[in-house]
Every structure is written in structure tokens, then in C-alpha cells.
């Protein structure tokens, strides 16, 4: 009997890498129970269901430490359930919250600006990453569909500027209001519209967010007012929304966005004046992506300090490639407006990777090397991921898994956007009014009559 137990002990030791003959069977089992506890609280429950791969024979007369055995354990647990146990243990070791230094804002007519540090929780970081990566992948899919001539007409892509949309949304409430220009896909998504409805709108399908009749520049959602095709025209509208907020006394703000190309429009300065006179809760935001169509800001503007353009309105210049900088600056601006101090102006220094629109290759007025340098040094998604990895707030495997899920979501959305039917002709004039009785609409000729219903 003693010889048989010794043989069993020696065989088990060889399998686990323990010193052959150095342990009795009981000592061996005690050691293995301690190993299972070290590896995972739930590992003992998985032991009966987990299929182990045969390990490589250990070196003769070498005893592995418990720490080494724990390190090797993930390679032994080959099925997904076992990996989940190991992963859950590893995730518990992640840093739940970290503080980061952010670039100090330039200020105008303010005694102090937003803080120079920003806190980020693990959950926030993963959410920001997923949102920005989804916008990036969605825009790249739109590029592909446009080149296949499935998307037609105007199409202005947002890749490179994702930190602006995400940072703003992270700092305001869902009940606050947003209005922007025609580069609107990112804001449509952050305001809660699913990817498949955005892509279906781009392809002109019935399931689009505007029933396939708005296209790239005219998408809407609750408390999101587009998507406006006329350069700068959304700025007075944003001031009007802010006037409604003040009139109703609901403590809400309106984020009014425009680009550096629209910054010299006269109607913008008229909106500044009225907002300052009436102390409207309006956050004017200039997304300065360095080029208005194909013209650099230095060639189009006598002063490129867009955050000072409000003169009598306080201003901030913000790193628009850093989602945390945008978030903190927008929080600061929203608090300023809610305190009854009137409007505030923000300039977000950002960069677009694509041309102005899909008809612009984007390399006739700037070099490919310039674009690549921004991608390599200032990409908003890479910056956030590197911060989280270097502070042990996430694992590379999590990001890879998230990327895979996002790619799948985008492909499914693209399938919907290319298979959903187009809106019928008799729906052409529907929704002219928000809530009204059906009415007759004249067509292109006096005898061509169409119906409109809400």
C-alpha cells in the first residue's frame, strides 16, 4: 500500500512540477488546495468542469514555487469559462480611479480657468473609449460606403475630433441642448442615436433617424437640433434655444458649436451680442480643426485666437484632442452659465483626419506627413488608452475585445443601412409640421398635389 501511495504521489508531482518524492499524497493535496485558493475563489468549483491541457514535463529535480504555479495557471485553463475566472481575479486588481495632469487652458476675461488635473474612473474611461472608437469606426464605414456610391451627396466625416463630442457630452446633462454644423455624425451618436439609424440616414433609408430624408447634414434627436447645412446659421439658433432656457427657468444650457471656417460670419457676432446683453446660458464652442475647407486658419483669419473673439464674453482655449481637457473645460463653462453669469466662449484645438468633405482628398493643402504626425502624437483614442494602460486601469485584452465588438456592431449597422427600404414617394412631404392635421402640399407644378401628415 505504501509503495502504491508513493507511486501516486510521484506521478502527481511530475504533472504539477513539484519535487518528485518530496511530498506525501496528503501534503500534495493540501498544497494544491492552497494553489487553487490563490488562483481564484471560484476555481475549485471549476476544477471538475475544466479540461486541462497536458503541460510540458518540468525539469528534473526542480520545484516550482506557488507564485510560479499561479502564473502558469492561465495557460492550463484553456476553455473560456476558466479564462473568465482568471480574468475576474485580474480585473479586481485594476486601479478604480486615477488623477491625470491636463493641459492648462488659456483664458480670456476670467480670473481662473478649469483645474489642471482631472479624475477618471475605470468605468468612465472604458465608456469614453467605446464611444470614441465607435464614432471612429462608424466614420470609416461611412467613407467606405461613400466610395462604393451607396452614400451620395454631401458627407463630412468626424474622425480625429472624437474627444470634442465625447468630452462635451460627459460634462452636460441629457436635458441640456446641443446644436452644431454639418459635421454632425459624432454628436448624433453621443446624443443617443444608434449607429444603424445614423448609417441608414446616410444611405437614405426609411429606418434612418430622419426617415431617410435628412442625410448627412440633417440629423436630429431629443435636445439635439442638428446638423445644419448653412455655414454659421446654427449659432443664432443656439442663442435662441438658450433664450428659451432662460425664459423657462429650467437651469439648462445650450451648447452651440461651429467651426473655424464659420468664425468670421457676421451673424455669429450678432448672436454674441444678444447673448451677452440678455445673459443667456449659451456655451459658444469653436471647433478649430485648423482648416476651413482647404484654407488654413492663418490664411483666413487676422486673429486666430478664436476664444477671444467674444471680446466682452469670457473665453477658454482648450486641448480638443484630450477628452479629459474637453470634459473639465465644458463642466467649467456649464457651471458659469448655470450661475447666471451669461454666455462663455470655448475654442477646442482639434484636427480632422479626412478632408473637409468626401469630395476633398485632404492632401492638396496639407501633407500626408502632417496628418500622420498628428495621428502618432495626439490621437484622442490612443491618448486615453495609453493613460489607462500605464495606470493599470485596464488590460490590452479588454480593448481588443471591445474593438472586436465595435467592429461587429458597425458591420451589422451597415447591413441594415444597405438592406432597409427607401422611404416611399407618398411620404415625401410628411413631417413638415411637428403635430398637425394632414394637409395638401403643392408639388413642382400647380396640378401636382401631395399630402403631408405628422
**Number of domains the chain is built from:** 3
* 67 in the same domain as 126: no
Q: Are residues 209 and 344 in the same domain?
A: yes
pLDDT at 449: 82
Q: Where does a domain end: 91, 113, 132?
A: 91
Residue 297 sits in a domain whose CATH number is 3.40.50.970
Which of 49, 65, 91 corresponds to the end of one domain?
Answer: 91
Kind and range of the H or E element at 111?
Answer: none
- Give the pLDDT confidence score for residue 280 in this predicted structure: 98
Q: Is the Cβ–Cβ distance between 305 and 317 less than 8 Å? A: yes
Q: What dihedral angle (degrees, nearest 10) is formed by the CA atoms of 127, 133, 134, 135?
A: 110
Task: Using CB atoms within 10 Å of the CB of residue 365, give its burial: 0 to 12 exposed, 13 to 18 middle, 19+ buried.
Answer: middle
Residue 334 reports pLDDT greater than 80: yes
Provide the domain limits for residue 117: 97-423
Considering the domain architecture, whether residues 241 and 315 belong to the same structural domain is answered as: yes
Examine the domain organization and report whether 114 and 32 are in the same domain: no
Q: Are residues 82 and 103 in the same domain?
A: no
Same domain, 175 and 31: no
Cα–Cα distances in Å, from 336 out to 114, 288, 317, 379?
Answer: 11, 22, 16, 29
Distance of CA 15 to the CA centre of its chain: 48
* Host H or E run for residue 12: helix 2-16
Same domain, yes or no: 403 and 444: no
Assess contact for 286 and 348: CB atoms under 8 A: yes
Domain co-membership, 221 together with 360:
yes
- Biggest alpha carbon–alpha carbon distance for the chain: 107
Task: State mean pLDDT over 366-370.
Answer: 97
**What is this structure's pTM?**
0.80
Residues 288 and 326 reside in one and the same domain = yes
Residue 308 grid cell: 477671444
Tens digits of per-residue pLDDT, 157-210?
Answer: 999 999 999 999 999 999 999 999 999 999 999 999 999 999 999 999 999 999
Q: Are residues 429 and 402 in the same domain?
A: no
- pLDDT, position 446: 78
Query: Are residue 205 and residue 74 in the same domain, yes or no?
Result: no
Same domain, 363 and 434: no
The model's confidence at residue 74, banded by pLDDT at 50, 70 and 90, is: very low
Q: What is the mean pLDDT of residues 78-98?
A: 61
Amino acid at each position: 500500500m505504501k509503495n502504491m501511495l508513493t507511486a501516486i504521489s510521484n506521478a502527481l508531482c511530475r504533472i504539477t512540477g513539484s519535487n518528485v518524492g518530496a511530498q506525501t499524497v496528503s501534503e500534495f493535496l493540501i498544497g494544491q488546495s492552497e494553489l487553487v485558493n490563490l488562483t481564484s475563489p471560484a476555481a475549485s468549483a471549476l476544477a471538475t468542469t475544466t479540461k486541462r491541457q497536458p503541460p510540458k514535463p518540468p525539469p528534473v529535480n526542480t520545484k516550482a514555487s506557488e507564485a510560479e504555479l499561479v502564473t502558469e495557471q492561465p495557460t492550463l485553463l484553456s476553455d473560456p469559462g476558466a479564462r473568465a475566472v482568471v480574468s475576474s481575479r485580474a480585473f479586481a486588481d485594476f486601479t478604480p480611479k486615477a488623477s491625470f495632469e491636463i493641459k492648462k487652458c488659456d483664458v480670456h476675461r476670467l480670473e481662473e480657468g478649469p483645474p489642471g488635473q482631472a479624475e477618471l474612473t475605470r468605468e468612465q474611461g472604458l465608456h469614453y473609449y467605446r464611444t470614441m472608437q465607435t464614432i471612429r469606426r462608424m466614420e470609416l464605414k461611412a467613407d467606405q460606403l461613400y466610395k462604393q456610391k451607396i452614400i451620395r451627396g454631401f458627407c463630412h466625416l468626424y474622425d480625429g475630433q472624437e474627444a470634442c463630442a465625447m468630452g462635451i457630452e460627459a460634462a452636460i446633462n441629457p436635458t441640456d441642448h446641443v446644436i452644431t454644423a454639418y459635421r454632425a455624425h459624432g454628436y448624433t451618436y453621443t446624443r443617443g442615436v444608434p449607429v444603424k439609424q445614423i448609417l441608414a440616414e446616410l444611405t437614405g433609408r426609411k429606418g434612418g433617424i430622419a426617415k431617410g430624408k435628412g442625410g448627412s447634414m440633417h440629423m436630429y434627436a431629443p435636445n439635439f437640433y442638428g446638423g445644419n447645412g448653412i455655414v454659421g446659421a446654427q449659432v443664432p439658433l443656439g442663442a435662441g434655444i438658450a433664450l428659451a432656457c432662460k425664459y423657462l427657468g429650467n437651469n439648462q444650457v445650450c451648447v452651440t458649436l461651429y467651426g473655424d471656417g464659420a468664425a468670421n460670419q457676421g451673424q455669429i457676432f450678432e448672436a454674441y451680442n444678444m447673448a451677452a446683453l440678455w445673459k443667456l446660458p449659451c456655451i459658444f464652442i469653436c471647433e478649430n480643426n485648423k482648416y476651413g475647407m482647404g484654407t488654413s486658419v492663418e490664411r483666413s483669419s487676422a486673429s486666430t485666437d478664436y476664444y477671444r473673439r467674444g471680446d466682452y464674453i469670457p473665453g477658454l482655449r482648450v486641448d480638443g484632442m484630450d477628452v479629459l481637457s474637453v470634459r473639465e473645460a465644458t463642466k467649467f463653462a456649464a457651471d458659469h452659465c448655470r450661475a447666471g453669469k451669461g454666455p462663455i466662449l470655448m475654442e477646442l484645438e482639434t484636427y480632422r483626419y479626412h478632408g473637409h468633405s468626401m469630395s476633398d482628398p485632404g492632401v492638396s493643402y496639407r501633407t500626408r506627413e502632417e496628418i500622420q504626425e498628428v495621428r502618432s502624437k495626439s490621437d484622442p483614442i490612443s491618448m486615453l488608452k495609453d493613460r489607462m494602460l500605464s495606470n493599470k486601469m485596464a488590460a490590452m485584452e479588454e480593448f481588443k475585445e471591445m474593438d472586436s465588438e465595435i467592429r461587429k456592431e458597425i458591420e451589422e449597422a451597415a447591413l441594415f443601412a444597405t438592406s432597409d427600404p427607401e422611404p416611399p414617394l407618398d411620404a415625401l412631404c410628411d413631417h413638415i409640421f411637428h403635430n398637425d392635421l394632414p394637409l395638401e402640399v403643392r408639388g413642382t407644378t400647380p396640378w401636382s398635389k401631395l399630402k403631408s401628415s405628422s
